[in-house]
Amino acid sequence: MSDLTVGDVVAEHTFSITRDSLVRYAGASGDFNSIHYRDDIAKSVGLPGVLAHGMLTMGLAVQPVIDWLGERGIVLEYQVRFTRPVLVDSTTGASVTVVAKIAATDEDSTRVDLTVTAADQTVLGKAQVRVSLT
């Protein structure tokens, strides 16, 4: 862990989400709530439009850390707080950007804080991944 310094950005990635992505995720997860694919239903319940699944956003957010770790470590703990939904436009989709930064490190583990944004707004708060490097 000595080669890591608090404040180091260890990973950064932007993911594109399309309506097709939502359909695929719905099939994989079994979450077929229509707010994730029908604008009329989403708007009828007071939403501005179709939203990405929260668990999809959460899964994408940790992926850059997984890629950075590779085979040299494991995820010990992962937590997020959902702060804003990710709106997925029918034409342009959505982009979710993740920046992973070292927040704390000790002998046993390292905490990586994630900044996760879509449409220039933070969509996950207190997004933290605790990892152990082998």
What's the average model confidence in pLDDT over 78-94?
97
DSSP 3-62: T--TT-EEEEEEEEE-HHHHHHHHHHH----GGGT-HHHHHHTT-SS-B--HHHHHHHHH
**Domain map (residue ranges) of the chain:** 9-17+53-133
**What percent of the chain has pLDDT above 90?**
96
Which pTM does this prediction carry? 0.93
Best CA proximity match to 121, nearest among 48, 29, 39, 66: 48
Cα separation of 107 and 43, whole Å?
A: 50
Q: Is 3.40.50.620 the CATH classification of the domain at 9-17+53-133?
A: no
Q: What is the mean pLDDT of residues 70-96?
A: 97
Q: Which of 2-6, 20-24, 30-34, 91-95 has the weakest average pLDDT? A: 2-6
Is residue 1 over pLDDT 60? no
Please, what is the average pLDDT of the chain? Answer: 96
DSSP tally for the chain: helices H, then strands E: 3, 5
What are 30-66's pLDDT values in tens digits?
Answer: 999 999 999 999 999 999 999 999 999 999 999 999 9
The pLDDT of residue 2:
59
Average pLDDT (11-20) is 98
